[in-house]
Homo-oligomer: A and B are copies of this chain.
Amino acid sequence: MAPEKDAFEGVEWRIRVADGSSEVPVTDTGLARKVWVKTKDLFSCLGLKVWMFLKKAWEIGANDPRKVIHCFKVGLALTLVSLFYFMRPLYDGVGGNAMWALMTVVLVFEPNVGATLYKCLNRIFATFVAGFLALGVHWIASRSGDRFEPYVVGASVFLLASMATFSRFIPSVKSLFDYGAMVFILTFSFVVVSGYRVDKLFDFAHQRISTIFIGTSLCILVIILVCPIWCGQELHGLTVRNMDKLADSLNSCVTHYFTYINGEDDKRLQGYKCVLSSKASEDSMANFARWEPSHGRFNFRHPWKQYLKIGASMRSCAYCIEALNSCINKENKAAESIKKHLSTSCLKVSSSSSSAIRELAQSVKKMKSPTVHTCIGEMNRAVEELQNDLKSLSHLLDPSTTVENKEHETPFLKAIGSVPFMEIIPVVTLASVLIEIAVRTEALVGSVEELAKLADFVTNDDKSKKSEMKDKIVPDEEKPEGTMEALQRV
């Protein structure tokens, strides 16, 4: 605001125009200039905001082109359903009720196959049930005389809408039929209340059902045939990525502490935060994935729930990495001599457990049974080594035991003699958290092994025995995702 003030105190303002010359702006009145400056500011500010917004939008599209494809898919589905308006025979075929098909497409179309199928099947099922129930209630209401009909209809709407709404609070109903309950309320109240004004109620209900069926079929066709995004595949990929991130941040966190390779890759260090924050998306993906038919390497009854258990195991590791990070950023620094003493074994533990996690990620990615026994063995040996190193600190506390070990500990333990205990604590805490991480890594191995068992991952024995299983483990890119087969099952 300061320059503006100056302007009013007699400083001449010049505007540089396109050709490079500058001219004095119109200054006949203070007000005009004020308005001009304000308007210019406003527009440049607005222009900047719009520019930033467009840039942001471009980045989103460039980072994940599938989002752009999804948008075009929505456009395509809507344009296709518009044909029911544009083509006379189609329009007459649905008795001018094409709007339900249009509405279905807008309400049901989701970015991934699982969510779309969930909504489609819920919508069809709920429309059927509600439609028949509404016809029944209408029949009863119409038999109860003109005077009582509105009361019967009103009471039935009140009761069934309340009950259906309540069912949405019950977890088992919510996870399977949340959208269905809403469509049920909509269709039921719609058909039964319209019954009061519409004469041919059966035709009305029939048209609603058939147009909704047209809309959902179109959605399913478009979502599965045009660059499908499978929820299950996404969940699978997310799990693999999160494991890799976990391994990376564990490794770089400990390496960073002991070797001072600073600022190398803050993003890798913070990778565990993705693991901490992905619970909600894992839950919803696992919920939608079970609606998906067999696709790619996944069967219809792939154990998606096991992925949630793996996610929980990963998060329990991530909590420990959080604690590790806080050890590292602590104010009271650790003694160099102690750090040096424990660094080898600590680095061994972290590198072996992170390579175990990476191995797990690879096995999940390739859908092979995990072969992490060597990694885990190495990790356990490293943990033992670390515990021995910690124990060797112990001799300092108990002078009686040091006598017989004196010969091989002298160089280090003499040096350590002058270290204040407070400077040992951070390293000891770190080592102790690392041991805990090793324990939790084993739990993670357990949950991945369970997945391998439940999902019939290829074991090494299978591989050597059966050559026909080979095509099952061909990576995504080389094999079309079995969409036609998937479609036939819908």
Contacts and interface: CB of A to CB of B under 8 A. Distances in A.
A319 interface: yes
Contact of A161 (B78, B107, B194, B398): B78
Given A193-B85, A319-B323, A320-B323, A74 B185 contact: yes
A99 interface: yes
A187 B243 CA distance: 44
Interface of A: 53, 56-57, 60-61, 67-68, 70-72, 74-76, 78-79, 82, 85-86, 91, 96, 98-99, 102-103, 106-107, 150, 153-154, 157-159, 161-163, 165-167, 169-170, 172, 182, 185-186, 189-190, 193-194, 196-197, 277, 279-280, 316, 319-320, 322-323, 326-327, 330, 387, 390-391, 393-400, 416-422, 424-426, 428-429, 431-433, 436
A467 B98 CA distance: 65
A230 to B, nearest CB: 19
B432 A426 contact: yes
A222 to B, nearest CB: 12
Contacts of A98: 193
Nearest to A187: B106
Contacts of A330: 436
Given A74-B161, A106-B189, A185-B106, A421 B433 contact: no
B61 A106 contact: no
A369 to B, nearest CB: 28
Going nearest first, the 5 A-B pairs with the smallest beta carbon separation are: A394-B421, A75-B158, A75-B162, A323-B323, A71-B162
Nearest to A57: B170
B391 A86 contact: no
Contacts of A194: 85, 99
Secondary structure type dominating chain A contacts: helix
A74 B103 CA distance: 22
Given A99-B194, A196-B86, A420 B391 contact: yes
Q: What is the oligomeric copy number? A: 2
Contacts of A432: 327, 425-426, 428-429
A56 B161 CA distance: 20
Output the residue of A165, A320, A398, A428 with the most chain B CB within 10 A: A165
A279 B68 CA distance: 29
Contacts of A53: 170, 172
Given A319-B323, A419-B398, A428-B428, A154 B393 contact: no
A162 B421 contact: no
A102 B163 contact: no
A107 B187 CA distance: 12
A323 B85 contact: no
A76 B26 CA distance: 64
A351 B279 CA distance: 31
